[in-house]
A and B are shown apart, each in its own frame.
Chain A
Amino acid sequence: GESVGLHLPTLSVQEGDNSIINCAYSNSASDYFIWYKQESGKGPQFIIDIRSNMDKRQGQRVTVLLNKTVKHLSLQIAATQPGDSAVYFCAEKKNYQLIWGAGTKLIIKP
């Protein structure tokens, strides 16, 4: 079936290091891939998106990479800070819906 899933449920990173969160998807019929961040006790918040005809997009301290050959999406966070602690979801836009991955919990070690 169609699904968007994450390789690692929990990722621990030293403060100041770079974080890489990975996501695999199985359905190629989408035009956007998106990353959301959900802090504890809050709703998800849009971080960055990438169109399916791109392979890289950069934002402020974040970079999203899309490898359509292996159906892999990643979110890189530079110089990880305590405020980056959250659950990160990848999602795939298909028609009117977002198909969400299971989420990766990012833990920042001091």
Chain B
Amino acid sequence: DSGVTQTPKHLITATGQRVTLRCSPRSGDLSVYWYQQSLDQGLQFLIQYYNGEERAKGNILERFSAQQFPDLHSELNLSSLELGDSALYFCASSPGGTASSYEQYFGPGTRLTVT
């Protein structure tokens, strides 16, 4: 158990809908990362937050947004969903800062299915 929690574990929704994925980082970790993993593919970095502020942005679509709250939990919002958005969405956390950002602790993921 990495100490990172994600909810929900599974999510099935229809095209055009909006969903929110939630992540709680390990206790004390300030950085949260979001990744998308399509079937049998690698990890696509979406976005990183550090202590409430956006730190880095990857290939995140404009339909997607995220935020990190004062209690350090994070939410990833996916809107106007398309079939191609079906994937595993992982959250990871790290203590924070560039020195520690390579050792990331991953949650179990949320499997999103768009029908």
Q: A residues engaging B (CB < 8 A)? A: 32, 34, 42-46, 49, 89, 91, 93, 95-103
Q: Is B25 an interface residue (CB 8 A)?
A: no
- Measured CB to CB, the nearest residue on chain B to A32 is B102
Residue contact B43 to A89, C-beta cutoff 8 Å: yes
Given A43-B108, A44-B90, residue A93 in contact with residue B102 (CB < 8 A)? yes
Q: Is B24 an interface residue (CB 8 A)?
A: no
Expressed in whole angstroms, the Cα–Cα distance for A44 and B4 within the complex equals 12
7 closest residue pairs by CB, A with B: A43-B106, A93-B102, A102-B42, A96-B56, A100-B43, A32-B102, A44-B106
- Measured CB to CB, the nearest residue on chain B to A101 is B42
Which residues of chain B are near A91, meaning CB under 8 Å?
102
Expressed in whole angstroms, the Cα–Cα distance for A14 and B56 within the complex equals 41
Residue contact A100 to B2, C-beta cutoff 8 Å: no
Extra contacts, 18 of them, besides A46-B104, A91-B102 (Cβ < 8 A), are A32-B102, A34-B103, A43-B90, A43-B106, A44-B92, A44-B104, A44-B106, A93-B101, A96-B50, A97-B56, A97-B58, A98-B45, A98-B102, A98-B104, A99-B45, A100-B42, A100-B45, A103-B42
**Mostly helix, strand, loop or mixed at chain B's interface?**
loop
Q: Would you list 30 pairs from A and B whose C-beta atoms are within 8 A, ordered by A residue? A: A34-B102, A42-B106, A42-B109, A43-B2, A43-B90, A43-B108, A43-B109, A44-B43, A44-B90, A44-B92, A45-B2, A46-B104, A46-B105, A49-B102, A49-B103, A89-B43, A91-B102, A93-B101, A95-B98, A96-B48, A96-B50, A96-B55, A96-B98, A97-B45, A97-B48, A98-B45, A98-B101, A98-B102, A101-B42, A102-B42
Interface residues of B toward A: which range?
Answer: 20 to 34
Contacts of B73-115 to chain A: CB distance below 8 A? 90, 92, 98, 101-109
- Measured CB to CB, the nearest residue on chain A to B88 is A43
Residue contact B42 to A89, C-beta cutoff 8 Å: yes
Expressed in whole angstroms, the Cα–Cα distance for A9 and B32 within the complex equals 29
